[in-house]
Structure 1
Amino acid sequence: MNTTAIKPILIVEDSAEDFTALGRAFRKHALQNPVLRCEDGEQALDYLQGQGRKIGWPQTLPAIILLDLNMPGLDGRDVLGAIKGDPSLHSIPVVIFTTSANAKDVATCYQLGANSYLTKPLAYAELEEKVRLIVHYWLEASELPA
């Protein structure tokens, strides 16, 4: 089993509805990793830079981060830039998972260091398939940093 099995998956998503659907899709694929949610960019950076100092947050950094782009306050671009600019966080794979298919957003995210860019599908069956691909590629096939 991959060492990522004990690391959480961090989903940075302001929509409770989208997070619920993602959580359901991850459970369907028998994901062993705990799935955490940060509701905005500030909370995500607080967790990542604090590395579990708050009660209830894990002591370990996530195996991967699924990051929404369009959130109130610090948006996904700001969070991505902060993660990739921080030597203690930059090796964590960040998958942009957003409704925007705008070519400028895609280019900006890759310039900021995104590891992948996926658009959120509207249909739940398509969401399940994208989650299956994420689990297979990032948690089963890829060798991630310890």
Structure 2
Amino acid sequence: MIGLIGLLMVSCKTYTPNNLPDHHLHFGKGGGFTGMTTEYMLLRNGQLFVREGRAGSGEWREMEKVEKAAAKDLYRTWENDDLFKVDVREPGNLYYFMTMKKDTAEFRQSWGASGYQPDESLKSFYGRAMDLIRTAESKPDTRN
């Protein structure tokens, strides 16, 4: 019984931007005249965070969670496709990006340069990640 309670506590762990698990996925878009970015961070447990500002700046705020199974499925796709373990640095004036942080390694893809076409699996993965954002944004706010 005690083991079951411990398992439930571990499986329900929530994180903060200052206390993150070893693996987390960042994605978003930015650039243009203002140079502003919108960056999302998805954790394997379905927690989502967002920050807006100049690249790498701004305060993280938590969004509604998405289904844990959907988040895990996205992580599995990333882990099983070697394409995502190769850095792509082809940003344009307007650009899209994904970064997977895994332990001490970081894999980054950024694209948007004219004349550069990212692999279809990269675009599909990004689309699936953004679908999770739209799902979270359509939920009523239950975090209060």
Q: TM-score, normalised by structure 2?
A: 0.25
Q: Which structure has the larger Rg?
A: 2
Question: Comparing both chains, which one has the higher relative contact order based on Cα–Cα distances under 8 Å and sequence gaps of 6 or more?
Answer: 1
Query: Greater share of strand residues, 1 or 2?
Result: 2
Query: Greater share of helix residues, 1 or 2?
Result: 1
